[in-house]
Amino acid sequence: MQTPYPSAPAHPARDRALHWILGLPFDAMSLAEAVQTVRNAARQRTPLFISTPNLNFLIASQKDPAFRNSVIHSDLSLADGMPILWLAKLLKAPIRERVAGSTLFEQLRYSPLEPEDRPLRVYFFGGPDGVAEKAANAINQDSTSMQCVGYCSPGFGSLDDISTPELLAHINASEADFVVVSLGAKKGQAWIERNRTHLHAPIISHLGAVVNFVAGNVQRAPVWMQRVGLEWFWRIKEEPNLWRRYFSDGAFFLALVFSCLKDMKLNKAPKNKKSPPKP
């Protein structure tokens, strides 16, 4: 459903055909197109704030305007989750492919580079102690298309605590192309909104699970489970503390689908026709 939205900024480098689902914008973009967009941004040093809204983003954004605006302000918004695609189909929005942040990162890590491209330089900001270091070592040992140039686990302080000039200078000194943030969705998006204009890296995104996947602390679901929308089941197996979030999100999603179906049925109901006047 392509509609105008007053808060959406124009993209500095390309026209965007945005499709809106419950107040969040989505780019109808394939994985291959997303990879090329990131590499172009790295090559041209074009600012690119990537959001990857999933069902949890969609739900949280209904009650948190600042969180919602962080997605609206992004330069690229990719549908990360099969429930988003199901809603898009229900609402007739032409979003055909799920582009998960972790899949995008994996493609950037392993797909061959063009002759004019150098390895993408990434910096991990966030994650549990020691995990970013493991992820950095894994990338630098087996990747030819990506290099980790730094990492920092700032702990669980406030936004002020983890936005100091010293921390930002450390990130800038790494000369990274891509800052991968892992602080929890709301905090991560807020940190990006607050600090991205102070960072030299052109590309930034909150990809919360990526650092754990790359480090090997958490295994990603098999591809077939991702394709049929069962990745949540696998994630609960890997991280049992997630069950409450997925249960709550699932209940909200079902209520949302029923509400959409009800509205569609009402909109399709035939209107009463006036009887022709009697002669």
Tell me the pLDDT band of 268, cut-offs 50, 70 and 90.
low
Strand partners, 51: 77
Lowest mean per-residue pLDDT among 93-107, 186-200, 232-246, 264-278: 264-278
Region of 22 on the Ramachandran plot (φ > 0 left; ψ -120 to 50 alpha; else beta): left
Q: What's the confidence (pLDDT) of residue 159?
A: 96
Nearest residue to 77 via CA among 104, 50, 101: 50
Q: What's the confidence (pLDDT) of residue 9?
A: 42
Q: What is the pLDDT of residues 128-166, one digit of tens each?
A: 889 999 999 999 998 789 999 999 999 889 999 999 999
Q: Where are the domains of the chain?
A: 18-266
Q: For the residues 124-130, what does the mean pLDDT come to? A: 93
Q: What's the confidence (pLDDT) of residue 8?
A: 38
Share of the chain above pLDDT 90, in %: 57
C-alpha span between 190 and 165 (Å, rounded): 17
DSSP symbols for 12-61: SSS---EEEETTEEEE---HHHHHHHHHHHHHHT--EEEE---HHHHHHH
C-alpha span between 272 and 22 (Å, rounded): 30
Q: What's the confidence (pLDDT) of residue 171?
A: 98
Dihedral angle of Cα 20, 26, 29, 31, to the nearest 10 degrees: -140
A 10 A CB-CB count for 66 gives: 11
Q: What is the pLDDT of residues 174-213, one digit of tens each?
A: 999 999 999 999 999 999 999 999 999 999 999 988 999 9
Question: What mean pLDDT value characterizes the chain?
Answer: 85
Q: What is the pLDDT of residues 42-92, one digit of tens each?
A: 999 999 999 999 988 888 898 899 999 999 999 999 999 888 998 898 888
Whether 204 contacts 120, CB under 8 Å: no
